[in-house]
Amino acid sequence: MRRILIYIVLLLLFSCEERSQRLSGGDPHSYAVADVAWIKHMNLDMEVDFEEEQIKGKVIYEIEKKEGASEIWLDTKGLTIEGVQISSDGRQGQPSPFELGSEDQFLGKSLKIQLEANTRFIHIDYKTNPGAEALQFLPKELTADKKAPFLLTQSQAILARSWVPIQDSPALRFTYKAKVKVPKGLMAVMSASNPQSLSENGAYEFRMEQPIPGYLLALAVGDFSFKPLGDNVGVYAEASVLDAAAEEFSELPEMIRIAEELYGSYEWDRYDVIVLPPSFPFGGMENPRITFVTPTVLAGDKSLVSLLAHELAHSWSGNLVTNASWNDFWLNEGFTTYFENRIMEELKGKDYAEMLAHLSYQSLSDEYPMMVSTGFELDSRLALDLNRRNPDDGMTSIAYDKGFFFLKLLEESVGRKAFDSFLRKYFSDFAFKTMDTDTFVGLLKERLLDNYPDLAEKIRLQEWIYEPGIPDNIPFKPSERFVKVEEAVNSWIAGVQLDSLKTENWTTHEWLHFIRTLPTSISPEQMAQLDAAFSLSKSNNSEIQALWYKRAIEADYEAAYPYMEKFLVEVGRRKFLLPLYRSMIEQDRETELAREIYAEARSNYHPISVGSVDQLLKWTEN
């Protein structure tokens, strides 16, 4: 007990600035004891083996430590540690005793390494094991061109430790260099400076000079090429996708300009995007310099680029100023959702941003009651308590959308000019540092709210941050464009002909709201009328397709089923798969259809999606 009390006192002696730069602050999701010894720079040498689905690596860390420190603690998960050495100069060192701790379901195993007084470098030889959670090896059949296998990593939230032994806390930053050997004919990119052409021998070198936390460590390997979109922005994609992606993302240079005008310089040198294979189960990941995105954003009309605005905004909120622990996740995602909305307002107009805000409100309204009904109402607080839990449990609409509306409330309370000034200084003062919720609240009061008497109490600051639920002073107002969509639906139900509805300039969001607003009692005949007028079953927009097919299942509109089957066979994004398969099994008459489609599509899905759909359909291999 005395040792714990001394440790707490020592932590309190450090200033907030020191904490934000190098202390984990007792991160419940990392074994790192970062006030004793911590990583400053990483040299990584890896070979990617597609046949064994394995990475063999050697990592050399330059560390700093307190005087008298005799050990350093790292995070691992499913790694084989083959040897550890220590040195004073980074050259071949001497073997050092190390110890792996017991296995934790979420955290993996700690790696404790003994240090000497002059130790400045630790050398670790290791290899990953098949099934490493961050490594997603895709056979060529799951790529767009089906010519070569593909590897991608997903380190967020605490999976970097499954492909590199590391201090895997968002509060700890390091710079890095890397050498990566891949099969000839494949390209590799990382969250670092990247090649723009193929290496003849499959060897690539990378450098990240800005310090990043471990969850932003990323690697992708495959048969893809690069196309520039501007001086410091471009896109990587497979051959069949590259030109379409370049056209779809052509507004990226303008997005960067808008973002810089709002909240300061882009600090990462380049902003590139890689379009991943269709089986990628997620929407996007904000890895510095190389955002990972799903191909389902390629709608052909730039209608889904708000996802790119979101990932770009992470270059400030998240990547530049980072949540100190996953309990503070809203400091990444709430800020980013707000920033995304501001970028899209400048790019597409205020009414467009209002539609995005309306969608955020719908997400929040859907998720909160589900939390209450399942006993997780406490997770509707912005300030989370995820101790002894998987940090992915906090990745809900609360962090994104409740966080967004809290910042929107601040903006409306003090005025946009004052709030923008606060945010710009926030990103500048805490660049390449971390932030926790309590420190942010103190900063908010000191720098902004104290200039307005009793404002903290008026906006109910405590309730928004620390209490569950959705405060009733949420600054939501319905989108005027969505109101017009609802009027169009009501007019059609009342007998107005579809060709008289003014839908010519509708965006994807308006079409989605149109489909959502259709009455639950809609008949197959009415669905057929809509399909004849608007070709919704044949849409090339994945968001529209997924929602329309869901309504088709509910309305027993079988004419859409062949198009739905093609969609489910080709697209592996879990966001689309689960609602469609769930809708089919909820309609008892379609359970067999769901299983027939899945039998054909299953081999095209990413293992993460397979696991989810297997569970949903109670699937067993014959």
Q: How far apart are the first and last CA of the chain?
A: 55
87 closest CA partner among 68, 63, 111: 63
Listed as own residue / partner, the contacts of 97-105 with beta carbons closer than 8 Å and 24 or more positions apart are: 100/76, 101/31
Distance CA 191, CA 220 (A): 9
Q: Are 396 and 367 in contact (CB under 8 A)?
A: yes
Instruction: Tell me, rounded to whole angstroms, the distance of Cα 123 from its chain centroid.
Output: 31
Q: Which two tokens stand for residue 600?
A: 């054909």
Local structure of 507: helix, strand or coil:
coil
542: part of which helix (H) or strand (E)? Answer: helix 542-555
Please count the other Cβ atoms lying within 10 Å of the Cβ belonging to residue 516.
Answer: 15
362 closest CA partner among 312, 405, 310: 405
Distance CA 46, CA 536 (A): 47
**What sign does the dihedral 95-97-103-105 (CA atoms) show?**
negative
Catalytic residue among 204, 338, 400, 605: 400
Instruction: Tell me, rounded to whole angstroms, the distance of Cα 418 from its chain centroid.
Output: 29
Distance CA 525, CA 518 (A): 13
360: part of which helix (H) or strand (E)? Answer: helix 350-373
The torsion region of residue 510 among left (phi > 0), alpha (psi -120 to 50) and beta comes to alpha
Catalytic residue among 133, 248, 286, 311: 311
363 closest CA partner among 470, 231, 239, 505: 470
How far CA 219 is from CA of 187, 216, 419, 533, in Å, comes to 11, 10, 36, 45
558 labelled catalytic: no
How far CA 562 is from CA of 474, 531, 593, 597, 617, in Å, comes to 43, 14, 11, 10, 20
Instruction: Tell me, rounded to whole angstroms, the distance of Cα 501 from its chain centroid.
Output: 38
311 labelled catalytic: yes
Local structure of 413: helix, strand or coil:
helix
335 closest CA partner among 271, 262, 284, 408: 408
3-state secondary structure 184-247: CCCEEEECCCCCCCCCCCCEEEEEEEEEEEHHHCCEEEECCEEEEEECCEEEEECHHHHHHHHH
The residue type of 280 is F
Distance CA 411, CA 423 (A): 10
Contacts of 432 (CB under 8 A, 6+ apart): 173, 210, 211, 267, 320
Active site residues: 311, 400
